[in-house]
Amino acid sequence: MVTSRPLDDIANDLEGSSRLRISANVEDVRAYIGGRISDEKRLSGFVGKDATLGANIVNTVAGKAQEMYEILKHTINSSLSKVNHLLMFIPGFY
C-alpha cells in the first residue's frame, strides 16, 4: 500500500497499479483544527483577538489536510483491526 498526493513522478512509477481515492469530510477536518487551535494557549490568544486569523488558519490547513485525514483514519483502523486479531491468540485475552 502506498499513499501519496497526486504527483506525476509517483503516478508514473505506479502506472498500472490499483488506485483508491480517499478524501475527508471537510467539516471533520475543520472541527479538528478548530479544537487544536483552542487547545493551544498562545495560538488561541491570537485567534481570540482576530477572528479572521482563525478562519484563515482553519481554511488553509483544512484545504491541505483534507485527503490526508482519511488516509490516517484508514491506517489507524487497519492497525487496530490487526492488533485486535492478534490479541485473540494471547491466553487470557478475550
Q: Residues 46-79: pLDDT tens digits?
A: 889 988 988 998 888 887 776 676 676 777 777 7
Domain span including residue 28: 23-69
Q: What is the DSSP string of 2-62?
A: ------HHHHHHTTTS--------HHHHHHHHHHHHHH-HHHHHHHHH-HHHHHHHHHHHH
58 inside domain: yes
Q: Is the pTM of this model over 0.85?
A: no
Is 50 a member of any domain?
yes
Q: Is residue 7 part of a domain?
A: no
Tell me, yes or no, whether 48 lies in a domain: yes
- 29 lies in a domain? yes
Q: Is residue 44 part of a domain?
A: yes
User: Is residue 38 in some structural domain?
Assistant: yes
Per-residue confidence at 24, pLDDT binned at 50, 70, 90?
Answer: low
Residue 46 is assigned to a structural domain of this protein: yes
- How far apart CA 72 and CA 86 sit, in angstroms, is 21
Number of domains in the chain: 1
